[in-house]
Amino acid sequence: MPAAVPAKLTPLRAHLLSLLKECRTVDHLKQIHSLLVTSGLPGDAFPTAKILHLASLSLPADISYASLIFHQIYRPHVSLYNTILRGYSLRSHHVKAINLYSQMLRDGVFPNEHTYPLVLKAFSRSQNENPNQIYAQISKLGFDNDSFVQNSLVAVYAKAGDFGSARKLFDGIRNRDFISWTAMVHGYVDNDRPVEGLALFAEMKSVGVEIDEVIVVSVLKGAAMVGNIWLGKCIHGFYVECGRVKWDAYIGGALVDMYAKCGYCDHARRLFEEMPCRNVVSWSALIAGYVQCNEFIDALSFFRDMLVRGMKPNQVTLATVLTACAQLGALDQGRWIHSYIERNKLELNSILGTALIDMYAKCGCIDDAFMIFHVIPEKDVYPWTALISGMAMHGRASECLDLFLQMVKERVQPNEVTFIGVLCACSHGGLVDQGQSYFDCMIKDCGISPKLEHYGCMVDLLGRAGRLREALCLIESMTMEPSAGIWGALLNACMIHKNFELGESIGKHLVRMEPHHSGRYVLLANIYSLSRKWDEAANLRRTMKGRSVEKTRGCSWIEVTGAIHEFVAFGESHSESKNIYETLDGLTELIKLEGYVPDSHQA
């Protein structure tokens, strides 16, 4: 009956709908809502649904207001559930979305094909949720053949790292679109499997699937992880410079990050300066790139420039800058950043707290590191590991091991870096038996396969204790090729304990391993000098000269009243070089008068 529909459009209802159409602010929406309630039309479905839509999705409202409206609706239907679910999703309230979905099922409201992509997104963002529990419901209701639901399932399994299930679902999709491919590539890269992600991207490109900004960012991230500058440049040229994807701050940030992580900091800087728009992500990428390239002073300089330009750093930016401060020993600047965090009331999460602990520990302030550790609200493995490593660095072996035992007692699972800290503590404390026990515990109880760093710690531990043959046997039993660092640790032990025969053999091996590394020649020359083999030492220096190997000059930094000063051995670039060398000469004369005799046996 067509005549019945216009009859329902009463003047009041028409007025309400007209007001809703013009609504632009939350306060205005609340006034309209009040009018709806006081008019006797609160049960009118259409205006109520429109108000819920505006509160959840269109206006910059507090989602709690939308939630209040929703819970006042008598027996809401599935589209209203979907509206509030979408609102939760937009504001990253993933736990609330999952709880609402559970309520939906309890109330006997059947989900539709629009419900599950929203719920699956919430599952993918929530760490403690298992997607298998919802997949069964999707299959039971017959939505497992819907393309939107299939893509969402692939994304949730890939993000969770369950690539067996993700690939099975992906291969079962008849008409795979760019969303399906992107979900898989993104999942591989985000789960530290960049090689598989890049291989899948190549397959995606070969079948002619559309490429967008999201997949380009993932591929650039994967290229950065494997150090594939060639692929990164190809993506930059073919997709960005040729205009196949839209240039924005996130594409720019990904490019800066890729160039910097591949060691091309100058390229990253030029690209950054050419970017049409910059945000905190692109600034953070550039600063992180300079830190990764060990250009710590430049990293701090860019951070100061970022602040001057009015760009507000986030927690990731500050954690990166704190890493630069830690490496430089820039305590004053590290304290300023700590003060900045407190002034701006930034949450001291695991990433930022760990960076502060590391900075204070490396700058010699272990008590401040302890203080930060105790105020972090939720401590995962990373703050524990940073403090354990800091204690080991300060030679406080027994306290370090006590801290490790407390960590295990509180059911925090140690990782491979945690054990590096523990083994270093045992090495510095001369705790050989304890070190061997923890090494075995790492393998048998925690299921962690030893890396080169763990073997290096054990060789150093045994070598310091004079158990050189045991250290040699451990190296020979390794399942991987020993690095030069591991052999170097044993060589240092040979020098300490004056086992020149074994030291000479290792020194020759190191020179063969790294024929252009000046430090290897210097160590072997020192062995020859200490064992008074002057002819061999002279021959080695001639070999070094013949191969054009130059001794690497030492470099150090010092912070004075907040300013970083860099010094290079025999360098004269510092403005006070003349005065510094005159002071050093004076100090040398004074210590000679006190009976100091320089050791001329070592290079």
Q: Which two tokens stand for residue 267?
A: 């390229």
pTM of the model: 0.72
pLDDT tens-place string over residues 224-267? 999 999 999 999 988 887 777 877 778 888 999 999 889 898 89
Percent of the chain with pLDDT over 90: 40
Torsion angle of the four alpha carbons 21, 23, 28, 32, in this order, in degrees rounded to the nearest 10: 10
Residues of 327-340 as b/e, b for ≥16 C-beta within 10 angstroms? bbbbbebbbebbee
| 48 DSSP β-pair partners | none
Alpha-carbon span 16 to 33, nearest angstrom: 9
> Are 51 and 29 in contact, with CB atoms under 8 Å apart?
yes
- Calculate ∠ Cα 263-280-330, nearest 5°: 65
Is the predicted pLDDT of residue 68 greater than 70, yes or no? yes
Q: Mean pLDDT over residues 399-415, rounded? A: 94
Give residue 323's pLDDT: 96
- Quick: pLDDT tens for 486-541: 998 999 899 889 898 898 898 888 888 888 887 788 888 888 888 888 888 888 88
**Top-confidence range, 10-19, 402-411, 541-550, 583-592:** 402-411
Judged against a pLDDT cut of 80, whether residue 11 lies above it is answered with: no
**221-230, 422-431, 547-556: segment of lowest average pLDDT:** 547-556
Q: What is the pLDDT of residue 17?
A: 62
- Decide which of 343 and 59 is more confident: 343
Q: Are 212 and 178 in contact (CB under 8 A)?
A: yes
Burial (CB count <10 Å: 0-12, 13-18, 19+), residue 25: exposed
Whether the per-residue pLDDT at 22 is higher than 90: the answer is: no
Token couple for 127: 């760490």
Residue 576 confidence (pLDDT) above 80: no
Amino acid at 510: L
What pLDDT, on a 0 to 100 scale, did the predictor assign at position 44?
A: 47
**Beta-bridge partners for 563:** 560
CA distance to 43, 99, 109, per residue, from 102 (Å) = 24, 5, 10
Q: pLDDT band for 542, please (50, 70, 90 cuts).
A: confident
Residue 7's pLDDT band, with cuts at 50, 70 and 90, is very low
Helix (H, G, I), strand (E, B) or coil at 566: strand
pLDDT score of 462 = 95
Q: Taking each helix axis from N to C terminus, what angle separates 115-125 and 94-106, rounded to the nearest 10 degrees?
A: 130
pLDDT range class, residue 25, cuts 50, 70, 90: low
Choose the weakest-confidence range: 140-144, 232-236, 302-306.
Answer: 140-144
pLDDT band at 87 (very low <50, low <70, confident <90, very high): confident
Task: Quick: pLDDT tens for 100-113.
Answer: 999 999 989 999 88
Tokens matching residue 331: 């305590």
Range in 346-360, 403-417, 535-549 the model is least confident about: 535-549
pLDDT for res 427: 92
Question: For position 570, what pLDDT does the model report?
Answer: 64
What is the predicted pLDDT for the residue at 3? 35
Is the pLDDT assigned to residue 48 strictly greater than 80? no
Supply the pLDDT for residue 4.
36
The domain segmentation of the chain, as residue ranges, is: 555-593
181: closest CA among 148, 220, 210, 145?
A: 210
**CA-to-CA distance for 391 and 459, rounded, in angstroms?**
20
pLDDT confidence of residue 571: 67
Please report which confidence band the pLDDT of residue 314 belongs to, taking 50, 70 and 90 as the band edges. Answer: very high
Residue 418 is predicted with a pLDDT of: 96
With b for 16 or more beta-carbon neighbours within 10 A and e for fewer, the 388-425 pattern comes to bbbbbbbebbebbbebbeebbeeebebbebbbbbbbbb
For the chain, the average pLDDT equals: 85
Q: How far is CA 535 from CA 61, 153, 491, 550, in A?
A: 82, 71, 21, 20
The token duo for 439 is 């090494």
Which is more confidently placed, 200 or 561? Answer: 200
Q: pLDDT digit string (tens) for 148-199?
A: 888 889 988 898 888 999 999 999 888 888 889 999 999 999 999 999 999 9
50-64, 287-301, 341-355, 385-399, range with the lowest pLDDT: 50-64
The dihedrals phi and psi of 327, each to the nearest 5 degrees, come to -70, -30
Position 144: which residue type?
D
- What gap in Å lies between CA 227 and CA 561, rounded to an integer? 38
Interval 6-23 mean pLDDT:
59
Token digits of residue 434 = 């304890």
Q: Side chain identity at 444, as an amino acid letter? A: K
